[in-house]
Amino acid sequence: MRRVAVIGVGDTEFGELWDYSFRDLGIKAGLAAVADANISADKIDMLYVGNMSAGRFIDQEHIGALIADYAGLARDNIPATRVEAAGASGGLALRQGFMAVASGLHDIVVVGGAEKMTDVSDLESALIQSSAADQEWETVLGATFPALHALIARRHMHEHGTTREQLADVAVKNHKHGSLNPKAQFQREITRETVMGSPMVSSPLRVFDCAPSSDGAAAVVLCPLDQAKKYTEVPVEIVGSGQASDYLALHHRKDITTMEATKVAAQRAFTMANMMHKEVRVAEVHDNFTISEILAIEDLGFFAKGEGGKATEAGLTGLAGQVAVNTSGGLKARGDPIGATGLAQAVEIVTQLRGKAEKRQVKDATVGLTHNVGGTGATVVVHLFRRA
């Protein structure tokens, strides 16, 4: 297998972007990434696009072809593939790109992710997002996507003593980071009271425990490590890639307070990278709900099972903590345009490892991790990055 580097990154701001269509967003991020890599279109061999549900959000399928067309790459008839794994669509697209370069089949691969969520009503958006769960045996029975995560939260609180306040601390931390990120959807700091006083969504989770619906796109350009210096002064290598699945319905999982797919995907990534957990200084994890970040930091191996809440409360996952988690603001504050999220995480890690994260820079970060989840944990993709 060849070694793979990221040579360019690009993203849009995230938020309710009324003036931008799905195509506008995809192209904006893609162009930015390609410009960052200073690469010409005719050098691009392959395009992957992560997207969860353009078919339902904007009645548009065939996304690979659409983005290739609007990126001007249809001119060269490049192969373009749309990748879907609910919330993990972006991370999974990144993995497909990584595999394409690592296998030797392609040299320069652009991987983007985009989602346009605000062209439908809130109710419709919630229903579309719940299609990441088990339609027939969860959604039809009345379980919304937040309700499923609330079931996880309550069980985690019951088994491990995680508190309502510790859940709030995840949101507070991520909003703090978001306030340092000019592209974040929410740039306002909040307090525990903001979270715990916000309207209930599905007990115990409240509005501020849940990531927003967002529009946005992000993209990276990949190439073989041994060619990277042609395009960038600071190549960042993808040293590990791991993917795992688990039973789709939450009620089939062995232990709902653990996302087993996270543990396995992480193990696979760390094994490939020949690395230890403690080497990771900065991580972007999938905090679509505050409880999800607590599970993530436990299941990725940063903290013992049941200790995630305490670790967050103690500040161990802040910018100066043991491992800086969600320095971008995470899904919660930076925003969560579903198909784009996995790529936005990669953009943030690469930016951190390049030393370009400005006000939210983590000192001496040479190794970073991205963690992207589909559904309530039925797909997880983990990548490890190291400054080359």
Q: Can you give the binding site for another protein, defined by CB under 8 A?
A: 123, 126-127, 135-144, 146-148, 150-155, 158, 199-205, 247, 249-252, 256
Q: Which pair of structure tokens corresponds to residue 144?
A: 């919304």
Q: Are 217 and 342 in contact (CB under 8 A)?
A: no
- Phi, psi values for residue 238, rounded to 5°: -85, 105
Min dist. Cβ of residue 115 to another protein (A): 20
Min dist. Cβ of residue 14 to another protein (A): 22
- Closest to another protein by CB, 200 vs 304, is 200
Q: Which pair of structure tokens corresponds to residue 285?
A: 């994890």
- CA–CA separation, 72 and 384 (whole Å): 31
Min dist. Cβ of residue 85 to another protein (A): 19
- CA–CA separation, 11 and 277 (whole Å): 28
- Closest to another protein by CB, 201 vs 343, is 201
CA 74 to chain centre: 28
- Closest to another protein by CB, 103 vs 135, is 135
Using a 10 angstrom Cβ sphere, with 0-12 exposed, 13-18 middle and 19 or more buried, the burial of residue 356 is exposed
Min dist. Cβ of residue 251 to another protein (A): 4
Min dist. Cβ of residue 252 to another protein (A): 7
Calculate the dihedral angle through the C-alpha atoms of 344, 346, 347, 351, rounding to the nearest 10 degrees. Answer: 140
Min dist. Cβ of residue 141 to another protein (A): 5
H-helix or E-strand containing 98? helix 89-102
H-helix or E-strand containing 269? helix 260-273
- Closest to another protein by CB, 107 vs 159, is 159
Using a 10 angstrom Cβ sphere, with 0-12 exposed, 13-18 middle and 19 or more buried, the burial of residue 21 is middle
- Residue of 376, 368, 181 whose CA lies nearest to 259: 376
H-helix or E-strand containing 5? strand 4-11
- Closest to another protein by CB, 126 vs 196, is 126
Min dist. Cβ of residue 280 to another protein (A): 31
- Closest to another protein by CB, 152 vs 384, is 152
Min dist. Cβ of residue 378 to another protein (A): 13
- Residue of 228, 271, 241 whose CA lies nearest to 380: 241
- Closest to another protein by CB, 55 vs 301, is 55
Min dist. Cβ of residue 160 to another protein (A): 13
Using a 10 angstrom Cβ sphere, with 0-12 exposed, 13-18 middle and 19 or more buried, the burial of residue 18 is exposed
Min dist. Cβ of residue 55 to another protein (A): 16
H-helix or E-strand containing 110? strand 109-116
CA 318 to chain centre: 18
H-helix or E-strand containing 9? strand 4-11
- Closest to another protein by CB, 150 vs 365, is 150
- CA–CA separation, 175 and 199 (whole Å): 18
What are the beta bridge partners of residue 206?
200
- Residue of 219, 19, 256 whose CA lies nearest to 109: 219
- Closest to another protein by CB, 198 vs 366, is 198
- Closest to another protein by CB, 99 vs 126, is 126
